[in-house]
Amino acid sequence: MMTDQQLKENGYRSYPGTAIDVYYNIELCAHAGKCVKGSLEVFNPKRKPWILPDAEAANRVAEIIDTCPAKALQYILKEQK
């Protein structure tokens, strides 16, 4: 698991939440759509910002991110910091 600083140094943009911080790297994204299909409330490309980490429970957001085949999405649960 990378730290906030390591993720940012590797091209990830942060989307901080209350219980989970979500990170996204557009360069790695394969546009498989698993995030959007997992939760349009959290991941909505038609909205700015397109990621709202607090729109669902942190463990659910983590489960969705874990399905990302390209690892373009990463997360840090607040208790892990």
Q: Tell me the pLDDT of the chain (81 aa) as tens digits.
A: 799 999 999 999 999 999 999 999 999 999 999 999 999 999 999 999 999 999 999 999 999 999 999 999 999 999 754
Q: Whole-model pTM above 0.85?
A: yes
Residues β-bridged to residue 7: none
3-class DSSP assignment, residue 18 = coil
Q: What angle do CA 38, 58, 33 make, to 5 degrees?
A: 20
pLDDT at 81: 47
> Do 28 and 12 contact (CB within 8 A), yes or no?
no
pLDDT of residue 29: 97
Q: C-alpha distances in angstroms, 32 versus 1, 19, 79?
A: 23, 26, 29
